[in-house]
Amino acid sequence: MHRMLHAFLAAMFGGACAPSARVAVPPGHVGPEHGRHHGGHHGFADAVAWAEVLDAPDRETWQRPEEVLRALELTPTMRVADVGAGTGYFAVRLARAVPAGEVIATDVEPDMVRYLNERARREKLPNLRAVHSTHAAAGLAAASVDRILVVHVWHHLDDRERRARELAAALRPGGKLMIVDFSPEAHRGPPAHMRVPPEVVVAELASAGLSARVSSVGLPDQYIVEARREP
């Protein structure tokens, strides 16, 4: 199992990002995503162990988080949701980018929620709070946020059009939703049969009444689809 897991991690994050031997890898896990798991994918029982992978320093070379944040077009007072936040790779960056606003980080795994709330206290980010979501609902109130970021989550969802409608409803008028996921030709990421082409994501968001397009911001192994709710 550990051999299979390390192979998965090497494909997803690069060999240098795999957990070291000293980290107790939770049994039965098929590997990390950005805090989202469903169906045959098990939740993370040990967020501290997975933080070594999800927050590995060399992830920045291919994730390029600053470019992702620029594409969100944030202002300091915005209310932002990070859906499937995991250990907070993006959530803590979002909190620093909206110092007079608020970041709501959701995850289906209770230990990730616990870990991220502790991380927010440790890193002195009072505007960041993590909340537990479910496989059926992201846990965001209607018209409650200006921006929604969804990273490495979309290809896991069973009913993406329903989730698109839910997230569209959570946006305030003029708000923006951004999906970041692995491109079909990426050298890392989930197996090819699990990947969702960007044009499919655009269609799914458009079906929810959003104005959607593939972003011109390019990442090495990922695409960005951005969508807006009409003012």
pLDDT digits (tens, 9 = 90+) for 2-30: 333 333 344 444 443 444 333 333 332 23
Say what the pLDDT of residue 222 is.
97
Instruction: Specify the number of domains making up the chain.
Output: 2
> What is the pLDDT at residue 6?
39
Q: Report residues of the chain scoring pLDDT below 70.
A: 1-45
Q: Are residues 123 and 186 in the same domain?
A: yes
In angstroms, rounded to a whole number, what is the distance separating the alpha carbons of residues 71 and 146?
A: 14
Q: Which domain holds residue 33?
A: 2-56
Give residue 11's pLDDT. 45
Give the pLDDT confidence score for residue 53 in this predicted structure: 81
In this prediction, residue 17 carries a pLDDT of 40
Co-location of 22 and 105 in the same domain: no
Report d(CA 92, CA 96) in Å as an integer.
6
- At 83, list the tokens: 């859906």
Q: Are residues 83 and 172 in the same domain?
A: yes
Long-range contacts of 130-136 (CB under 8 A, 24+ apart): 130/85, 130/88, 130/91, 130/104, 130/105, 130/106, 131/104, 131/105, 131/106, 132/106, 132/107, 132/108, 133/83, 133/106, 133/107, 133/108, 134/108, 135/38, 135/108
Q: What's the pTM?
A: 0.83
11 and 109 together in one domain = no
The CATH number of whichever domain residue 116 belongs to comes to 3.40.50.150
The reply to whether 157 and 97 lie within a common domain is: yes
The DSSP bridge partners found for residue 33 are: none
3-state SS string for 146-205: EEEEEECCHHHCCCHHHHHHHHHHHEEEEEEEEEEEECCCCCCCCCHHHCCCHHHHHHHH
Distance CA 6, CA 74 (A): 36
Three-class DSSP category at 199: helix
Same domain for 28 and 111, yes or no, is no
What is the reported pLDDT for 47? 83
Torsion of CA 7, 11, 13, 16, to 10 degrees: 50
Question: What is the per-residue pLDDT for 117?
Answer: 98
